[in-house]
Amino acid sequence: MFPGPLGISLSGDALTRGTWALEARQIREHGIGRHRSVDDTPAGGGAGMVLRCDVLAAAIDAVVAPDDPRPRLLMSPRGKPLSQARVRALSTGPGAVIVCGRFEGVDERVISARGLEEVSIGDYVLSGGEIAALVLVDACVRLLPGVMGKVASGEDESFESGRLEYPQYTRPREWEGHAIPDILNGGNHGAIAKWREAESERLTRERRPDLLTRRKD
């Protein structure tokens, strides 16, 4: 699953250049017995299986040195929702150790014992944490210097300013009877900036009024 889609395009090129790196570890290597078992039935009964705390702790301890400065994240629908502000903070930090759950999740004890911070990518349930981790890493990697063509395009986007992005257009000027807004063809950069700001404001008010009052983290 790793680097998966991050192995192509801009993130893939940056991976090849060594702008960022990723080391995927197989939790099953720390599994128990002949079958390298990593999960067991939930205490108290119920459906599904739970990742064992001893197995997960061994997997974490194999990659995290005691003085490792990297935050230890656990992808989890119970976590704090991932935000652009958090992504930006992670992208300027020392990296991250990201634990991906499977099955019904992980034994609660390992979360506190290894200081895992639960991070959610949204209010829906995936079958595993890997795709969530790819989402997080993709969002971080594109902010690293030199990954995107133009640094400026990272700063002008949805959420960076607490607003949704204004509408974008490109050629052709006229398409199926729809023209590009006149103001964008004029070359008056002051007027264009004002129009974009107003459009951002309008779209945010219409679609995500919560962003206008919300803290950014």
**What tokens were used for 140?**
């971080």
Q: Which of 40, 104, 138, 199 binds ligand SAH (CB under 6 A)?
A: 104
Where would I find the beta strands (DSSP E) of the chain?
39-40, 50-51, 72-81, 97-100, 117-120, 174-175, 178-179
Residue 125 as a binder of ligand SAH (CB under 6 A): the answer is yes
Instruction: Dig out the tokens for 217 from the structure.
Output: 């983290």
Q: Is 76 in the site for ligand SAH (CB under 6 A)?
A: yes
C-beta of 56 vs 147, nearer to ligand SAH: 56
User: Is 132 a binder of ligand SAH (CB under 6 A)?
Assistant: yes
Question: CA 65 → CA 60, 68, 82, 94, 114, distances in Å?
Answer: 9, 5, 26, 14, 12
CB atoms within 10 A of CB 18: 7
Binding flag, residue 102, ligand SAH (CB under 6 A): yes
Cβ neighbours of residue 18 closer than 8 Å, sequence gap 6 or more: none
CA 74 to chain centre: 12
Is residue 59 involved in binding ligand SAH (CB under 6 A)?
A: no
Q: Is 78 in the site for ligand SAH (CB under 6 A)?
A: yes
Considering only 9, 47, 124, 168, the residue that binds ligand SAH (CB under 6 A) is 124
Count of residues in contact with ligand SAH, rule CB under 6 A: 18
Stretch that binds ligand SAH, among 5-13, 15-23, 95-103, 170-178 (CB under 6 A): 95-103
**Minimum CB–partner distance for residue 26 and ligand SAH (Å):** 15
Greatest Cα pair distance in the chain: 71
Cβ 78 vs Cβ 118: under 8 Å: yes
27 contacts ligand SAH (rule: CB under 6 A): no
- What's CA 57's distance to the chain center, in Å? 23
Mark the segment that binds ligand SAH (CB under 6 A) among 2-10, 128-136, 143-151, 171-179. 128-136
- Tell me which stretch binds ligand SAH (CB under 6 A): 1-9, 126-134, 149-157, 162-170: 126-134
Grouping H, G, I as helix, E, B as strand and the rest as coil, residue 157 is coil
Measured from the Cβ of residue 24, the count of other Cβ atoms closer than 10 Å reads 12
How far apart are CB 144 and ligand SAH at their closest, in Å? 22
Closest residue by beta carbon to ligand SAH: 101
Q: Which residues bind ligand SAH (CB under 6 A)?
A: 75-78, 100-102, 104-105, 120-122, 124-126, 128-129, 132
